[in-house]
Amino acid sequence: MAIQDMALIGTLTIPDAAQVSNIMKLPAGVSLYGLIIPALTSCDLTLEVSHDGAAANMKPLYKADGNEWKITSTTGSLAIVVEALYPFEYVRAKSSVAQAGGDTIYIIGRK
CATH of span 10-110: 2.60.120.200
Domain ranges for the chain: 10-110
Q: Please, are residues 26 and 9 in contact by the beta-carbon 8 Å criterion? A: yes
Which whole-number Å values give the CA distances from 21 to 40, 45, 92, 103, in the listed order? 13, 11, 6, 9
**pTM here?**
0.86
Per residue in 58-89, pLDDT (tens digit) is: 999 998 899 999 988 776 678 888 877 778 88
Report the DSSP pairing between strands 76-81 and 59-60: unpaired
Ranges of the chain whose pLDDT falls below 50? 1
* Residues 88, 50 contacting (CB under 8 angstroms): yes
Characterise 66 by phi-psi region: left (phi > 0), alpha (psi -120 to 50), beta (else): left
